[in-house]
Amino acid sequence: MKLSYYVVTRDYGFAPNPFHGFCTLATCKPTLRKHANVGDWIVGMGSSRKESIYKGKMIYAMQVEEILTFDDYWNDIRFQNKKPVMNGSTQLKYGDNIYYTDENGYIIQVDSHHSLENGKENLLNLERDTRGEKVLISKKFWYFGKDAIEIPESLSTLKNVGRGYRNIHDHNNQKFIDNFVEWLYSLEGYQWIGHPEKFESGFHRYDGRSSF
């Protein structure tokens, strides 16, 4: 088991997607997703920009309970409401169930936050997202969004992350992971708690040119 942590640079409710009773990480952070295993903890921290009010705060945490391929995610009856509905609510537009393989073996990206303004495939996002190979799924999650919370000083290591992501492995720091989990369960409730930071500004697309 390991704990992976990174900075959530764009909190739209897309990556992660905390809606409909599941927290899913199906796009972005391809290397993190590729190497994740069931039982791992994923922690998203606030922007590391000096002026950010979210600097050093926790946006969300989830324990990976299930891992699916893109096609399994696309076809699973549990996650049909995570497919984007572009004439629906903001929440529905930010659906992250956006990839499937067609009859010719090509990976298709549907109209979504990661496609071009005209709804066509954004190859930058498609190529990056699908390098990750895995969709991470959990019902065991704490999502705070714009109500991101301060973490205890004993867990301040989680604030020390820049580009990419970092891992804490149980074989060299089980005590830290245990302390983190104990703190999480000391919080009242879990699952949907806050709203995404950028949710109220409406729907936007991501062009794929900024780093993850």
Spatial distance between the Cα atoms of 9 and 21, rounded to a whole number of angstroms: 23
The length of the chain, given as a count of residues: 212
- Residue 45, helix vs strand vs coil: strand
Write the pLDDT tens digit of every residue in 20-69. 999 999 999 999 999 999 999 999 999 766 667 888 899 999 999 999 99
Q: Indicate whether 155 belongs to any domain.
A: yes
Q: Which domain holds residue 158?
A: 2-70+132-201
Q: Indicate whether 28 belongs to any domain.
A: yes
Q: How many domains does the chain divide into?
A: 1
Residues 58 and 43: beta-carbon distance below 8 Å: yes
Sheet holding 135-138, edge to edge: 23-25, 135-138, 66-68
Q: Indicate whether 143 belongs to any domain.
A: yes
Write the pLDDT tens digit of every residue in 42-55. 999 997 666 678 88
Write the pLDDT tens digit of every residue in 172-196. 899 999 999 999 999 877 777 889 9
Enter the tokens of residue 118.
Answer: 């005209």
CATH of the domain at 39: 3.10.590
- Residue 73, helix vs strand vs coil: helix
